[in-house]
Amino acid sequence: MKRVFISGCYDIIHAGHIQFFEEARALGDHLTVSFASEEVLWHHKQRRPSIPDEHKKAVLEGLRMVDEVVIGTDHDTGLDFKSYFLEAKPDILAVTEDDQYEDVKRALCEQVGAKYVVLAKTPPKFKAVSSSGIVKWVKAPTEAPLRVDFAGGWLDVPRHARKGAYIVNCAISPLVSLRDWDYEKQSGLGGSGAWALLNGENGVDAELDLGVGWQDPAVINEGGLCVWRSGQRPVLDFKRNGEMLDGRMAILWTGIEHDTPGFTDNKRDYDKIEASSKIAREGVLNEDIVKLAEGVALYYEAQLGEGMSKLPEINGAIASKYCGGGHGGYALYLFNTPEARDAAVEEHDAMRAIEPYCP
């Protein structure tokens, strides 16, 4: 009988593990699966397993291609199964191409005359996942806010950051989900940040890798009416729950998709943008919507100077600007009273009311 041995954490069993087990079992007549004990896992990775060892062992034993399951308790790096392996002397130790402990495993095989077999990464039968990815998916919220920005946009892009400047923005409702997205796509409301959160990711690094700024995932993860310090990564200056904005915000769809990456390096008045951020910050700090509107209006001047088209004038609005930095998408309108906001929404089909969101 040809005995095959494999090892891993197998913290959450998924289809990729099953495929590996089947391919390993095909190498011989008997398959032993080993996984690191709770104590070993904590010692080497400082984390707990998803389920207790005995439960994990029972799950693995229930798989049709698995003949034996052992729990590794040794503290040798990468060889928590060493004691069992030296005693059982299996014929084959099978690993995947990305195994991190090739040298020590090959040396262990030499001690007992076992064959070290690397299984090629065959095309997966299912979309590849990982245990850590599954944990993120399980922990991900089912709904997330989008966001509007008031002032200081582009100063969250690392190469445009300015010391002493700010980014002022607010998470908004209605919320979105992976199944229900009641907004236009590519609209300037930070949809990529919300999508990342709904899939269990923070999203900041992904945005920075695209060459754009971090404000979308930052405020969507944080929630509330936020003031951030301009810089390489998000640092929260302060935030409010957004009550000063209740009934006072609406967005208007311009009919043109928003494209932030395509406009990142446009010429624009960064001095004016910096000034807008400080005025808007003062408005949030003092819960003064008129002062906040002053900052929004100054930022809008910078957008017009960059070549964006003038927005429609809406009765009762005290300020407006394009959301985000790309031409098109949604435009934000601020109102001094809920009555003025509701009247404007009633009058314009392309306009919808939004509210601040603070979890």
Q: What's the pLDDT band for 123 if we cut at 50, 70, 90?
A: low
Residue 334's contacts (CB-CB under 8 Å, 6 or more residues apart) are 248, 249, 289, 292, 293, 296, 317, 318, 319, 320
| Average pLDDT, integer, range 299-315 | 95
Pair type for strands 144-151 and 166-176: antiparallel
Instruction: Decide: 162 and 232 in contact? Cβ < 8 Å.
Output: no
pLDDT for position 131: 62
pLDDT for position 134: 66
Q: At the fourth CATH level, which superfamily is domain 3-137?
A: HUPs (3.40.50.620)
Phi, psi of 75 (to 5 degrees): -105, 10
From the CA atom positions of the chain, what is the Rg in Å? 28
d(CA 234, CA 213): 9
Instruction: Decide: 114 and 81 in contact? Cβ < 8 Å.
Output: no
pLDDT digits 0-9 by tens, 34-46: 999 999 988 877 7
Q: What is the domain partition of the chain in residue ranges?
A: 3-137, 142-356
Predicted TM-score (pTM) of the model is: 0.71
CATH topology (fold) of 142-356: Ribosomal Protein S5; domain 2 (3.30.230)
pLDDT for position 61: 96
| Average pLDDT, integer, range 167-178 | 97
Q: What's the pLDDT band for 156 if we cut at 50, 70, 90?
A: very high
pLDDT for position 339: 98
SS (H, E, C) the chain: CCEEEEEECCCCCCHHHHHHHHHHHCCCCEEEEEEECHHHHHHHHCCCCCCCHHHHHHHHHCCCCCCEEEEECCCCCCCCCHHHHHHHCCCEEEEECCCCCHHHHHHHHHHHCCEEEEECCCCCCCCCCCHHHHHHHHHCCCCEEEEEEEECCCCCCHHHCCCCCEEEEEEEEEEECCCCCCCCCCCCCCHHHHHHHHCCCCCHHHHHHCCCCCHHHHHHHHCCEEEEECCCCCEEEEEECCHHHCCCEEEEECCCCCCCHHHCCCCCCHHHHHHHHHHHHHHHHCCCHHHHHHHHHHHHHHHHHHCCCCCCCCCCEEEEEECCCCCCCEEEEEECCHHHHHHHHHHCCCEEEEEECCC
pLDDT digits 0-9 by tens, 53-69: 999 999 999 999 999 99
Mean pLDDT score across all residues of the chain: 92
Residue 331 scores a pLDDT above 70: yes
- Of 144, 152, 9, 154, the C-alpha closest to 72 is 9
pLDDT > 70 fraction of the chain, expressed in percent and rounded: 95
| Average pLDDT, integer, range 203-207 | 80
Instruction: Decide: 133 and 11 in contact? Cβ < 8 Å.
Output: no
d(CA 210, CA 69): 44
Residue 104 scores a pLDDT above 70: yes
**Nearest-10 Cα torsion for 242, 150, 230, 155:** 160
